[in-house]
Structure 1
Amino acid sequence: MVSLLARLSLPGQRDPGARPSRHAPVLAAVATAAVTVLGLLGVGLTSVVVQTLDPAGGLPVADSGRLAGQLWLLAQGSGLTLGSGPLVLAPLLLTMAVAWGLSSAGRGVVRACDLTGGRPLAAVLAAAVGTHTLLSVLVGLLVDTPGAQVDLLRSAIGSAVLALFAVGWGTARDSGLLDDALDAAPGPVRSLLRAVAAGLLTAVSLGLLVVAVALAADTGGYAALSRSLGGSGAGAVGLLVLGVLLLPNATAAAIGVAAGPGFAVGSGTLVSVHGVTLGAVPALPLLAALPDTQAVPLLAFASQAVPALAGLVAGATLGRRLDHGGSVVAGLWGVLAGLLLGLVCGLFAWVAGGSLGDGALAGVGAPPVATGLAVALQAGVAGALAAAVTRWRAFG
């Protein structure tokens, strides 16, 4: 029923039985270009507004636009070569916004042209990915400076991968191709994916809560770091915006602590439940959430429940949605849900990490492999128990 409703014509659409529009690839290219243009305008306008708060005048409009373009590329996996070394760290909140825009563009083309699958969807996907990649490279050429050189190869690869996943998801979802693939898949794949999504949402929400509590516990440190950077309201607002954009990255680091391996801010700072090592870190107010002493904070110990809670949610969701099998079967599927949740958390830690320079700041974030394995182990056990108990209660 959902697939049928998704394919119904909207006002101004072609009839469902009509042939797909030959102009769908062109429309996809235009829609994808609009995402880049509107996104750059939004980020650039924010940068300009922040600079106008500076009584000294702040950066010129051209430099603010260049900064916005560099931030736009970083969000898509690009890198900058600064005087201090390579900067490769994607502000994931902006990455999510770009992905949402690209997905919406793909969905809009599918709805407007009434595409249902096959070659038309492949043509739309190819046009969207090609256009977005080309525009990202052009933006990289425009914002490249001697003091901040853009890695064009990373820009091309990162933007292509992001567009492939985002547009592919949007077109497959609205064309009914995703539903057809899930219906044809063996086993309770749809229920399994929903369980993993519920577990991931739980882990991310709890990780974000850990970050919020850590920041709230040291508001004085946040204010001190902001004052130490000097400037006026422009600097404070700019740092606040940057901190908000990096909140998903901080959440991935919190999940790393909860799982056990912890996270690093360069080679001199490591935070985990096994110990804390503090070294020199960038003067970013968001890093006020770091511990003030070498002692492991109580919050880190409390956060160790996050992987198990995420596994419990995933297992309970799976147990409720299974349409066949008993508690033993549900428990086995719950183990698989926990393993997949660990894989997704490892990928999350990977995309959230990066580099802030050479030497001591070459590595930032939670270790992806260790984090994924630790979450998989804990969530797999919890998921098996929750799925088995939920299924047993359903039969009872």
Structure 2
Amino acid sequence: MVSLLARLPRWGPGGGTTARPLPRAGLALAGAGTVSAAGLLVLALAVGVVATLDPTGGQGAGGSLVLAGRLWLLAQGAEITVDSGPIVLAPLLLTLGIAWCLSGAARVVVRIAGVTGARDAAGMTGLLVAAHVVLTAVLALLLDGPGAEVGLLRALLGSALLAVAAAGWGAGRESGALDSGLDRLPPQTRPLLRAVLAGVLTALALCLAVVAIAVAADADGYAAVSGGLGGAGAGALGLLGLCVLLLPNAAGAVLGLAAGPGFAVGSGTFVSVHGVTLGSVPALPLLAALPDTQAVPLLAFASQAVPVLAGLAAGRTLARRLAPGDGGSVVAGLGGVLAGVLTGVGCGLLVWMAGGSLGDGALADVGAPAIATGVAIAAQAGIAGALAAAFTRWRTAS
């Protein structure tokens, strides 16, 4: 629809027609509006489908839309204060979906507007960010009320940061500004960035595998929690959807476990390789992955290999993508150290986004310590990355 509106004709001199592109501000508003409307509609439909399975009749279309809007705000870092306290926990899979949609909208808008160059791309990104933040503010004001107060400042800041990152990436890729900027940097920059991405994705994939194994090992506990909450098929399906949205958050907690500092689920539950403390936790089936006893499970010790494996993946990727004239094994090893350290920084950022709070008191702190986790992963991945990069470069050259 945006593409069609951009090609609407206008009357020119002599009665002819010429192409009349929409103003860039209009294109930005259309792109951001499409992302918000489509995202909220999909979420509301998903919640509505779950509600139809509820034998008590569910909460209706209006309630489904309100719940979808609150999830949308939480995914962008908003704070919603309910009777039990403030909820600040972004379902990161939904956050990733919003970022992907914003990036795609930015690429479409840039293509339609014919934007080229870094300055025009930055201007279009600013328009998209402004439009997205305004729409988020409107949604926050509409959903703010007694029993569920929305923190407007956090909602605006979170949506702005997400839109800057996602729309900036999309606009930069489509306009060529990102490639032009990378071309001005040293040639080793692209291999380094790919290596860091490989390291972070490897760590994330391994942590998701740990979560899957832990849940599978206590399938009976998952079924008991899921079945004990009532709602028949509606309750089970809704909880499954929530668990899927929170899988990256669970992976972030496992990163804390793998790095050494461990993770907490409130003040009464703490899991690390140094010990396990169990307390009351929310009735969420995904938490069946927690240990059943005070003994440290074997899987927790096995997860200690995650930072090293992430560093090995980063170092190997770096060495394989370096050009023949970019230096030998010593240079590759030094680059591997940097790739491993930046992998730790990326993992620390993921852990920071994955944590939050689920109210006051006992559940005020959920997740792993971001700084300690990032530092520990950076140290381990840096050493592993150096060894992997130097060895891979040596084998490639020999």
Q: Is the 8 A contact 1:26 1:127 kept in 2?
A: no
- Which one-letter code corresponds to 2:28 in the other structure? A
1:135 equivalent in alignment to 2:130: no
Change (3 A) 1:194 1:229: same
For 1:331, which of 318, 330, 333 is the aligned residue?
333
Which residue number corresponds to residue 354 of structure 1? 356
Structure 1: how far apart are the matches of 2:235 and 2:149? 24
User: Deviation string for 1:3-31 (max 9, x for gaps)?
Assistant: xxxxxxxxx8xxxxxx9967233212211
Alignment CA distance shift 1:21-1:331 (3 Å): farther
Cα distance in structure 2, aligned partners of 1:61 and 1:20: 39
Structure 2 match to 1:74: 74
Note the C-alpha offset of 1:227.
2.1
In structure 2, the CA distance between the partners of 1:21 and 1:341, relative to structure 1 (3 Å rule), is farther
Superposed, which structure 2 residues align to 1:1-396 within 5 Å? 23-186=23-186, 188-323=188-323, 324-396=326-398
Task: Give yes or no for contact 2:252–2:351 (8 Å, CA) kept in 1.
Answer: yes
Answer yes or no: is the 8 Å Cα contact 1:243–1:285 preserved in 2: yes
Q: Deviations over 1:134-181 (max 9, x none)?
A: 111111111223111111111111111111110000000111111111
Q: Please tell me whether the aligned partners of residues 311 and 380 of structure 2 are also in contact (alpha carbons under 8 angstroms).
A: yes
What secondary structure does 1:39 align onto?
Answer: helix
**Structure 1 range deviating more: 229-238 or 355-364:** 229-238
How many Å apart are 1:320 and its aligned residue? 1.0
- State the TM-score, normalizing by the size of structure 1: 0.94
Match of 1:15 in 2: none
Does the 8 A contact of 2:348 with 2:373 survive in 1?
yes
Calculate percent identity across the aligned residue pairs. 63
Whole-Å separation in 1 of the counterparts to 2:229 and 2:359:
19
Contact 2:55–2:231 (Cα < 8 Å) also in 1: no
Aligned residues: 380
SS in 1 for 2:86: strand
Deviations 1:284-313 (A, max 9, x none): 111000000000000010111111011001
Distance 1:73 1:31 in 2: 18
SS in 1 for 2:353: helix
Q: 2:160 is paired with a residue of what secondary structure?
A: helix
Residues 102 and 167 in structure 1, CA contact (< 8 A), matched pair in contact too? yes
CA apart distance, 1:187: 5.0
- Give secondary structure in 2 for the equivalent of 1:303: helix
Is the partner of 1:282 in helix, strand or coil? coil
Q: State whether residues 20 and 115 of structure 1, in contact with CA within 8 Å, keep that contact through their aligned partners in structure 2.
A: no
Q: Distance in 2 between matches of 1:348 and 1:126?
A: 25
Match of 2:264, SS state, is: strand
Q: TM-score, normalised by structure 2?
A: 0.93
**What is the distance in 1 between the residues matched to 2:367 and 2:344?**
16
C-alpha distance in 1 between matches for 2:118 and 2:337 = 35
Conserved 8 A contact 2:265-2:281: yes
| 1:91-141 alpha-carbon deviations (Å, 9 max, x no partner) | 000000000000000001122222112443233112111111111111111
> 1:189/1:118 Cα in 2 relative to 1: closer, same or farther (>3 Å)?
closer
Letter aligned with residue 345 of structure 1: C
What SS is found at the alignment partner of 2:45? helix
Checking the alignment, whether the CA contact within 8 Å between 1:307 and 1:378 is kept in structure 2 is yes
Per-residue CA deviations over 1:183-210 (Å, capped at 9, x if unaligned) read 1113511100000001111111111000
Matched to 1:395, the amino acid is A
Question: Root-mean-square deviation (CA), in Å?
Answer: 1.6
Measure, in 2, the Cα distance between the counterparts of 1:79 and 1:288: 26
- Does the residue aligned with 2:294 lie in a helix, a strand or coil? coil
Structure 1 residues 20, 61: closer, same or farther in 2, change over 3 A?
closer
- Please give the alpha-carbon distance, in whole angstroms, between the structure 2 residues aligned to 1:261 and 1:227: 33
SS at match of 1:380: helix
The aligned amino acid for 2:121 is L
In 1, the alpha carbon distance for the partners of 2:49 and 2:270 equals 36
Q: How far 1:239 sits from its partner (Å)? A: 0.5
